[in-house]
Structure 1
Amino acid sequence: MTSRLSIRALLVTFMTAVLIAPLTSSADAQSPAAGTRPLAETMPTCADVEAGRFKARGSSAMCIDPQAPRLARSELRSKASSLGLTAADGKAAADFTGTDDDGADGADTPGPLAVDCPANELETNRFESCYLGEFAFVVRLIPSQQVIGRGSILQVVYGYVDNRARRMEHEVRLSLYQATGVVRAGVLATVLISCTTSCTPTTTPPPQRLPFRTTGYDSFRALTESPGTTTDFTNPVAMMTIQSTAPNPLVDEIGPRADVRCDSTPNVGPATGGCVYYRYKPTYDLSTLDPNTEEVAWHVWWAQNNLVTAWGREGYGPALTRTRDRQLIRDNRTEACRAAPSPRPPGQSCDEYPFATTHEGASKNPDFSWHMIDARQNTAEGRDYRRPWYTTNRLLENDQFWVRIILPPAGAAAAPDWLPPSRA
């Protein structure tokens, strides 16, 4: 049976090695996450330790206890909020803004921390992501299996991608909010970003000691780039390594991998390329209150409410699918406006929905609508609104999106009389 003195000796040894000595051995601290040891070797469960399946390299071992009590989802969010982990600081994405075809700043990109941070679930928009989780661990003596420390770390990972350059930024916030025994002295933590394809770190956060906290957190910021010009699915994930008194570190992938695509497709933003969370379907807003697009918006509203399928209307029909095939776009326009008057009435042009720049256009889909509308509005909507929006969101071939119509306060009752009667 191990005495209290031996536990105190382990604690003193750890505090001397970690808390007093300078953190000069960053390579050693990073090596588990960098892959110098198999991940399974650094992630033993406490059942593995008890059964002797984990070969301890010293008199104690860190292990994961799947049976350890964890916070419920609502409690996890509440605790993270009380510690300050989910408070927006606006720093990480300050320079990550949208662009149009001319390289000017776009207005459609969300601001920093626009996503919510759900518990145990990765949430993204087109440019940002957030994950909130909890990591619980135990320190045991070997071979007695006596528990000499427990700890729980709240983890928040904010991810940001740049749609103007092939780069990503991650901020990992960690808070050791529960600790007993030797863990109350804190743990040494390292954070690295791992990608499924090549990514180059430009800023790697140094190891930090995580003290036991009742409020606040420790922040790790990492910048990575996707080299080259090919289209890469980098799918990054933050890797946390922690070290306590036991000689074996624990490595944790914080949440699921994010679906990030970096590309340098010609004529999509600047030549530096860009990255997006490509599985997220962005929403293109058209307003009936905007005098530059009101007739287009009303036509799309009518089509979404009267065609057999509510194309692009989220919650009612399927998303639209972008095409950049010039021939298909021409074919869609020709087919959609085949029955339109020729020559066109003065000041008017033929507008089609679904848009000609989608795979749901008229040449491939008989369920479409056309209408004669103000020519200047028709041109402005495509050139000044939708094309820059496509570029800002880096919508490539087969990327999907929604279309939302902003109505006046009176709603459908305010529809103009030039539209056919609506079933909406």
Structure 2
Amino acid sequence: MNRLLDRILRHFISSGRLHVAWPDGAQTVYEGSKPGPEAGMELLDSASARALALNPGLAFGEGYMNGGIRPKGCTLYQLLDLLMLNAMSPGHLPEQIAASFRYACRGWIQFNPVKRARQNVAHHYDLDSRLYDLFLDKDKQYSCAYFRRGDETLDEAQEAKKRHIASKLLLKPGMEVLDIGCGWGGMGLTLARDYGAIVTGITLSEEQLTIARQRARDEGLEGRVRFEMLDYRNLHRRFDRIVSVGMFEHVGVRHYGEFFDILKNSLVDDGVALVHSIGRNDGPGTTNPWINKYIFPGGYSPSLSEVFTAVEKSGLWVTDCEILRLHYAKTIAIWRERFAANRARAVALYDERFARMFEFYLDAAELSFRVQGHMNFQLQISPGIDAVPLTRDYMAEAEGPVSQ
């Protein structure tokens, strides 16, 4: 099996240089024809080498988690940088076959009826909330921040993200707002406290719901913010505004039409919705099998072509679309630093294998935005052609000047 993996790596590394230490002590250097980063990898047992040859998308992360694969002479981030960069080059037959199979099955993989959606959410969002305190900002915003200058602190950039979204919602005091996938409540509380909205936040996470409700009580906002355990498909009311941040990735391709139909039916005629999601710039694809198994089961970052097709069929207007390219890479870079500084606490909460899993996830997530074409998009949507002003000037006016 070492010979098979050797042949695969000789074709795989087209940029940069990879040093591999084999289980028997042998050393091999794979050098691409194009310049790129340099990193090393140590394979500690034959089982890890065999798995890597047969299913690299899953086996590399599992091998790192289980201790069968480790970086050699570099960090995990540097090793992933090299491997993920080369994975974008065409012609890697084993992974192409695996990706084609995943694509053929993605309708089932991303099939998220109400019961399954709840299970998928619990897998990640019902982890001990103290874990997220190790790396998130003080408002517990678990989504892409917004760097207007580029050198903001995480807290500043997350506050800027909320202001940016609020500017697109064109809020007036007393408006009723639905927050789909409300997380730990930060967005809903901000819209109620700072903009006078009456907010209904819905989630499928027990852990997040408990904390969001407590935060509303602590801030004295229970009369303006209500958080509920509810699937968006089971809420039959109309709202002035709808916001959804970091939830669309969990909808599933088969459900996009249903999602936008529900948005249309849940908005008043001149209502406005803002959907903030991770996306991809290279057309429809699939979710990495390791991410699907260990981090976000049923999750998927869509291409804009998939999203716009569903919006068009719903009859909604896309009144604005903004692409945030490297904002999430900058966000996750800060999360990685914070998690690394608190890694011992993560081990104490769970164990060493879990800490390896989470650091692998954060490293790979950041690099997906830097070298693999991921981005964030914000869609402003309305049933009405004239629900928002003719130009985007109102957004800048609402956000105010960039502070120095």
TM-score between both structures, scaled by the size of structure 2? 0.22
Structure exhibiting the larger radius of gyration computed from Cα positions: 1
> More helix by proportion, 1 or 2?
2
Instruction: Tell which has more relative contact order, 1 or 2 (C-alpha 8 A, sep 6+).
Output: 2
TM-score between both structures, scaled by the size of structure 1? 0.21
